[in-house]
Amino acid sequence: MQANPAPRPPKPPFDRERFVFKILAVVIGTQLLIYSLAAGVCRQRAMEGRPIGQICPGTLEQLQGGFDSTLKLLLALLGGAALTRMDR
């Protein structure tokens, strides 16, 4: 005879905020990795004596713009989460 398996503990409810923050962390990490690789390639090409302006035009501006938009998104999510908690 088989013994009855122990009852499973109930699953916790889906935490939407935690999910969004984890996804955001993955996006920020991926963005940082891509821009780091691009900066490394630009640096390597510059060390070879090529002018940086011809190889990586606008890389720093794109990097700054990407981090600015990511920071704005993070602050908006944190602000929304704070407002939601105040309403409860």
Mapped onto helix, strand or coil, the DSSP state of residue 61 is helix
pLDDT value at residue 45: 78
Q: What is the pTM of this model?
A: 0.57
Closest CA to 42 of 65, 71, 63: 63
Phi, psi for residue 11 in degrees, rounded to 5: -75, 140
Closest CA to 66 of 21, 27, 37: 27
User: What is the tens place of the pLDDT at every residue in 30-43?
Assistant: 888 888 888 888 78
Token readout for 23 is 């996804």
Q: Show me where the domains of the chain are located.
A: 58-88
pLDDT value at residue 79: 79
Q: Which residues, 6+ apart, have CB-to-CB distance to 56 below 8 Å?
A: 38, 41, 42, 45
